[in-house]
Structure 1
C-alpha cells in the first residue's frame, strides 16, 4: 500500500502536458487522497437506461473517483450497503429505500447531497438534478473538500441556457476558437463526439439548454435532413440532461416554406409553423424550444406586417406549447439607421420603446431575453431598464461569455465581477427592493419562468474557447446562473483548483490577475461609462473611437473638440434616465449623484469636467489608460513566475497570450490617448501622451525596398505613419545607427494582417537578435484585419539584448500576399521600462 501511495505522489509531482480539452473535469489525483479514509466501496445508480442522466451520473462517479482518489468502484442499479454512493431521483430512492424527509424541499433540477462516513446520498428532484449532485460531489473531492454533512441545492431560476452563434457553413459569428462543433457545410455535423463532450462540460456547471445555431438564423436548418441531424445532437446531449433548442428565421415560411407571406396573424403561416414544429418534436421530443431574433439589425419580424412583437412571439409560443416548449424572444430590437443629428435619438431607449405597451400580452411560455445593458455587451453599462418595465412578462438575462467587445479571448478579462454588479443592482421598482437577479429569476414579479442565457460560441479548438484562462468565464456563468449570490472570487478559486491544481502560488497569481483583469481592460479601452471604444463598424476588437459617432448604429460618444458623453437626462437629453424607476431615475438624472463610472453614459460634459476624484475627465482618460496598460504588463511577469508550476503546454500557450495582451494594451493606450488629445487639444499633465523617448520610428530609418505608408485611422501608428515594402515580391530593409550602449529589451511594433504571413529578421551589426512571422491568424482567435489599424497592430519583444554604441540596427521584412511586412517602430527599453 505504501508503494502505491508513493507512486501516486510521484505522479502528482510530475507536471504533465495538458491541452485544455478536459477543462475543469480533469479528475487529477489529489495530494491528500489518503485522508479520505471512508471511501464508499460501490456506486448504486437507480436507473440502468443508458440515455438516463442517472445512469450517466453513475458512470461519471466511477470515472471521477478513479481519477481523483485512485479507486475503482463498481456501478450497479440495485443494492443496499452502508458503504456506497447512491445516486438517483427522489422518487426512485423512496421506492427502494423508503422516505427521505430531508429532501422535501427539493425544487425542479435541485439535488440533495449527504456525505456521512462511507455512505453518500445524491438525490435529485429529477434525473438532471441527480447528475448535478454527482458533479457537485466530484467537484468537492477534487478540491479536497472531504467534509461530512448534508445540504440541498436548488437553482435560482429554471432557464440556464447557452446561445451558440454557429452558422450553417460551420463558421461562427463572434467565434474565436475554430469552426462549429454542431454545423458544417450547410448541415448538422455527422460527428457528434465533441458535442457529447461539450454537453458533459455544461452539465457539470448545471446548464440545461443549448441553442445550437446563430440568432441570425438560416431557414435551411429546418430541412428534413437537418431535422434528423438535430435529433442526433439531442440524442448526444440527452444523457447529460441538456435540452436542444434552435434559433429561427422569422421569414422561414416565405423564404423556405414557399408561402407568399410570413405574417404572424395569417392562418397559413400559423399552420406552417405548427407543422414544422411538430416535425421537429417528433424527432426531438424533449426540445427546449425556440430562440427568436426579430426586427433587429435587418432581421425580418412581425413589424414588417405592422404586427406587434407580442404577436410574433405568441405565434411561436402556440406552436411549441403542446410539446411543453418555450420561446425565448430577444429584446435586442433597435433601428440601426437612427439619426446622429437628432440630439434626443438614443439606441439605449430602443428596448423599452419597442416593448412599450406589450407587458402582459405575451403568452405564458414566452420569455423575453434581455441583454444585461441597453446597448451591446459593453465593458460597462447600467442594467437595462426593461428589466423593471416588464412586470407581467417572464424575462431572462442575456450575458456574453464569448468576449466580442472585450478582447476576443486574446485579452484576459474575467467577466464574473461585471455580471455580479448587474445581478446585484437594485432597480427599486415601486420603491421596493428589486435586484436584477430577483427579476430574471421570476421572484420579484412572481413570474412562472425566468433565467439566463449566455452567448458562448465554443469551437473545435481543444481549449473550447481558444484560451485556457477564458474558460473561467464559462465555468463562472454556469455556477452563477445556478446561484448568483456566490462571490466571483470564490467561483474563480474553485475553477483554479479544478483546472490547475493546489499550488498556492498558482492560486494566488491567477486569482490576482483575473480579479484585476476587468478593471484593467476597462481602463485601457473605455472608462467613465463611455463604452468600449472599439471599432464598431469592423471587427469589434481593436481601438477606433471615431467609428462610434456619425453613423446610424447608435453606439455614440458624441465627442467633439470641447465635450464628450451621451446626454441621457430627461431635462436636456434623450430621456433614457427616465426609463428607470423614479429612485434610480433621480440618481442618473443628476450629474452630482451619477457615479463617475457611468458619468459619460448619462451626461454630456466638457473635457475639463471635474470628477469626484478631483481629476478632469480628460486627465482621467490619460491616467486610466496608462494604469490599465501597466496592469496588463504586470500580468506577463506574474504569469512567468509560474513556470514549472503548470504543465509546459498550457504555460506556454497562456504566456503567449499574456505577452500579446501586454503589447496590444499599449496599442489601445496610445491610440485612445492620442485620439482625445488631438480632438480636445488638452495636453496630458504628466507629459506622457505623444512622448516616447525610447522609440525609433520606422519611417525615420534608412529605407531600401520599403516606403512610408500613412495609417488610417492615424493613431493606430506611432507618429501616424508606418512603412511597407514597395511590392509583395521584394524584401525591404530598414536601418539606423545606434548611439547608446547597455542592456535593453527591444520591442518591435508591427502590423499583422490576414491575407499574408510576412517574415522578419532583426539584427544589430549583423548579429541576429530575432526572427518572427506575421502569423497571428494561426495563433490567435480574434477577428483579424486586412488593414494597418488598431486590430492588426501588435508587438514582439526580445529580452536583455546587449547593445553597443555604433551598432547598426537592421530590420529585414519579407512580404507575403497582402501583408507587406509593415513596421511601425522599434523601442530600446531599459530594464523595467515600458514606453
Structure 2
C-alpha cells in the first residue's frame, strides 16, 4: 500500500508537504523518467567563476536534472563535447569549438538552445543569456517537453525589471506577503539568502533588474551603511544576472545631504547627485540605475522650482551615464486636488498634459515609465495615450503584479489576459501599426531603450506573494516581458505543470479557474469601464463606490440619480478621447463605436441607456454582479475537486482563499447593486437586489449584550445594519427561532473581521454547537485590513450540511476582543445548490 502511494505521488509530481517556496522551480520527478535515456552524462560550463551566471547555470542544471530524472551528471571539460550539455557564451564556445551557424542571430541577453545531436548546446550572447537558456531547457524537461529543438530566443526589449515597493522599516506598500526581504529597522537586511532565492526565481523568467525600494523613497537609503548594504544585495543577485536598482527621493540633497535646495539646475545639486552616484557605483559597478517618482501624490520634484520634468530626469541621467546607468522616470504625475465640479477636469489627461511638450527633451538614458492605463491599475482601462504621444522618448510599460485594486492576493485574478489586451492594442499612430508592445520595445519609434516594469512586492511569506495561485501572475509577467506575443493560456499551463505537476485534471481545472477569474472579478466589482468600484480613500480592497466621487483624486464616476460615467469626448467632455491618434480617437469619441466594456470610461449616459446587448446600463450592472459572484462560488467547488491531487499544505492554503473570495464576492455583489439601486431607484428586473429570502438579519434577532449598529457605507451590510457588543468586555448573544422548513442546509454567517482584535464566535441550534470560529483573518490573509465595519472587513463563514428542524432555536454568541466588538451582519440558511 505504501509503495502504491509513492508511485502515485511520483506520477502527480508533488511532495507530501510543499510550502510554495520553490515556486515553479520544483524540479519534481517526471512521470516515466526512467524511460528517457538521451540526457547527456556530463555538463561542460565555459566559465567556472562562482559569481558568473554560467557557473550558476551549471549548478542549476545539476540540481534540475537530478530532481527531474534522478540522474547525477558529472562535470566535463572543454576538451570534449560528445554526450555533454555545453553551457556558456557564444564567444566562449567559438573560442573552444569553432563557429556555429546561429551565432550571428543571438542578441543581447538572448540564447541559442539545441538538443540536436549528441550534445545539448545552451549558448548565450552574454553570461546572463546562457543562464536563461539553461532555465528554458530545464523548464522544457520538467514539463515533459522532450522533443528535439533548435532555436534562438531573443528578448523583445532590453529592460525587464520588477519594482518592489519596500520601505526601510521592513513594511511594504501594497504588499500582501509579509515584511520585506530587503530591509528591516531602517537599514538593508543582513541576511541575503532570501534575496538570492528571489533573484533565482526572476532569472528563470528572464527578469534582469530589481528596484528594491519604494517609489515613495526614503532619502536615508543613501547613507554609507545602506550603500554598503545595497552592495551586499547586488552581490547576492549577481550570480543570477539580476542587476540592482534603487528609487530616489528627489529632495535628498536638501533633506539628507544638507544643501538648502534640491533645484535640478543648481550646480551644487547637480554635483551632489554626481558624487553620491559615484559612491554607489564604486560599491555596485553593475547597478542597473535609478527609478524616480516626482511631483506626484505629494512627492517632491522639479516642478517645485518651476523646472520641467525632463530637466529633473536629465539631472539623474547625467550622473548615471558615465556608469551605464538607466533612469526610469515615472509618468505617474497628477494633481490630486482637482475639482470635480469642473466638467473638463480629468486625471486621465494628466500624463499626456505633463509630458507631451517634453518629447525629445529627455537624455538617451532616460526611459519614461508609463502605467498601462491613464488612471491607476484598474480592472479595465484603455491603453494610455502617452504611449503614442512620446515618439522621441524611450518608454516602458508599468504593470502591477501585486493585486492592489484587484483583490490583494485573496481573490484569484489571473492578469495575463488583461496585460495582453493592452500590449496588443494598436494605437495606430500615423495610421501605421503601433501596438503598445512594439512601442515600449523601442521598435516602433526607433528608440534605443524600452521594456517593462512590474510592481511585484514579494515578502517573507514562503509563497512569495501570499498566495500560491497569484504566482502565475509573476511567472506570466516575466515571460510576457521577454516575449509579449506569447499566449496567456499557454503561459498559464506551463506554470501549472511546473508548479502542480502533470495530472490532466489539475491542468484542466486550474486553467479554467484562472482564465475566467479576471472576467468574474470585473463583473462583481466594476464593469463597462467604470473602474474598480473600491474604496479609493482607504485600503483599495472592498466595495465603496461613493468614494470615487466628490474628492480631489480624480478617479470619478460622476454618478447621480439619473446617470453615470465620465464624458471624455472632445465634443462635450474632458477631451481625453482626443489624446489618442485619430483612428483610435474617432472610435472612442462616438458612443456607437465605443466598445461597451469602455462605455462609461468615455461617455456619460443615463442608467436606461441601452447597450449593444440590448440591456440597459443599470440592468447590466445588476446581472453582471450576480454573474461574477456566481462564478466565484464555482471556483471553490472546482478547487475541491483537486483534493488528493495537490499536496495537502498548498491545497488547504488555496481552499481557504477561494472560500474567502466566494464570500467576499457576495459582499461586492450586494454592495454595488444596493448602492446603484438606491441611487437610481430603478428596480432589478429579476427582483434580486435587496431581496434575500434565505437570510435572518442579526439586528432582527433577540439581542442580549449586543446592540444594533448602522454600518458606513450603508451597503456594506445587509439591510444597512449589523450588531456589535455593547462594550469591549461584554459577551453578546443573538437568538431567534428558525422559520425555514426542516431539512439540510449550508448555514452561512456574515460578520466583520477587524484588525485590532480577534473576537470569538459560536453558532448553536437548540444548544447544539454547529460551528465556532475566531475573527483572525488579519493573521491568515495578507490583504490590507480595516479597523471599521465596512466592505473591507465584511466576510463570511459557512458550515455545510447542517440538519435543521423548523422552530430550532438559533443562537450566535460573540466575545469581543480589542477594538473588535464581535460584529455580525446576518445568517443564511441555504438549501443545496442555492447561492445566497
Q: TM-score range by the shorter chain?
A: over 0.9
Q: Deviations over 1:158-194 (max 9, x none)?
A: 0000000000100000000000000100000000000
How much has 1:39 moved relative to structure 2?
1.2
Partner of 2:279: 279
Partner of 2:809: 808
Partner of 1:200: 200
**Cα distance in structure 1, aligned partners of 2:145 and 2:32:** 10
TM alignment of 1:296-445, pairs within 5 A: 296-445=296-445
Partner of 2:777: 776
**Cα distance in structure 2, aligned partners of 1:537 and 1:325:** 36
**Cα distance in structure 2, aligned partners of 1:10 and 1:587:** 54
Partner of 2:210: 210
Partner of 2:754: 753
**Cα distance in structure 2, aligned partners of 1:5 and 1:655:** 26
SS in 1 for 2:307: coil
**Cα distance in structure 2, aligned partners of 1:216 and 1:662:** 34
TM alignment of 1:669-688, pairs within 5 A: 669-688=669-688
Partner of 1:796: 797
CA contact (8 A) 1:44 1:79 kept: no
How much has 1:118 moved relative to structure 2?
3.9
1:110 to 2:114 alignment: no
**Cα distance in structure 2, aligned partners of 1:62 and 1:462:** 24
SS in 1 for 2:115: strand
Partner of 1:738: 738
How much has 1:149 moved relative to structure 2?
2.5
CA contact (8 A) 2:760 2:772 kept: yes
SS in 1 for 2:509: helix
Q: Deviations over 1:92-122 (max 9, x none)?
A: 1111111112222000000000002541000
Q: Deviations over 1:44-90 (max 9, x none)?
A: 11101000000000000000000001101123453413100000001
**Cα distance in structure 1, aligned partners of 2:345 and 2:806:** 60
Q: Which runs of 5+ in 1 are unaligned?
A: none
Partner of 2:513: 513
How much has 1:31 moved relative to structure 2?
0.2
CA contact (8 A) 1:164 1:214 kept: yes
Partner of 1:497: 497
Partner of 1:180: 180
CA contact (8 A) 1:9 1:31 kept: no
Distance 1:6 1:461, change over 3 A: closer
Partner of 2:590: 590
CA contact (8 A) 2:211 2:244 kept: yes
**Cα distance in structure 2, aligned partners of 1:806 and 1:631:** 33
TM alignment of 1:587-626, pairs within 5 A: 587-626=587-626
SS in 2 for 1:723: strand
CA contact (8 A) 1:47 1:77 kept: no
How much has 1:315 moved relative to structure 2?
0.2
How much has 1:412 moved relative to structure 2?
0.1
**Cα distance in structure 1, aligned partners of 2:15 and 2:174:** 34
**Cα distance in structure 2, aligned partners of 1:753 and 1:789:** 9
Partner of 2:786: 785
**Cα distance in structure 2, aligned partners of 1:452 and 1:80:** 40
Partner of 1:236: 236
SS in 2 for 1:116: coil
Partner of 1:288: 288
**Cα distance in structure 1, aligned partners of 2:49 and 2:35:** 35
Distance 1:9 1:780, change over 3 A: closer
Q: TM-score, normalised by structure 2?
A: 0.99
Q: Deviations over 1:518-543 (max 9, x none)?
A: 00000000000000000000000000
SS in 1 for 2:234: helix
Distance 1:248 1:567, change over 3 A: same
SS in 1 for 2:543: coil
CA contact (8 A) 1:382 1:598 kept: yes
**Cα distance in structure 2, aligned partners of 1:600 and 1:184:** 44
How much has 1:8 moved relative to structure 2?
6.8
**Cα distance in structure 2, aligned partners of 1:272 and 1:374:** 34
Distance 1:7 1:802, change over 3 A: closer
**Cα distance in structure 2, aligned partners of 1:11 and 1:488:** 28
CA contact (8 A) 1:15 1:645 kept: no
- What is the Cα-based RMSD across aligned positions, in Å? 1.2
Distance 1:580 1:709, change over 3 A: same
SS in 1 for 2:642: coil
SS in 2 for 1:152: strand
**Cα distance in structure 1, aligned partners of 2:677 and 2:117:** 67
CA contact (8 A) 1:48 1:77 kept: no
How much has 1:356 moved relative to structure 2?
2.3
CA contact (8 A) 2:11 2:502 kept: no
CA contact (8 A) 1:219 1:256 kept: yes
**Cα distance in structure 2, aligned partners of 1:6 and 1:695:** 45
CA contact (8 A) 2:297 2:336 kept: yes
CA contact (8 A) 1:32 1:144 kept: no
TM alignment of 1:632-781, pairs within 5 A: 632-739=632-739, 740-781=741-782
Aligned residues: 833
**Cα distance in structure 2, aligned partners of 1:198 and 1:322:** 29
**Cα distance in structure 1, aligned partners of 2:149 and 2:823:** 63
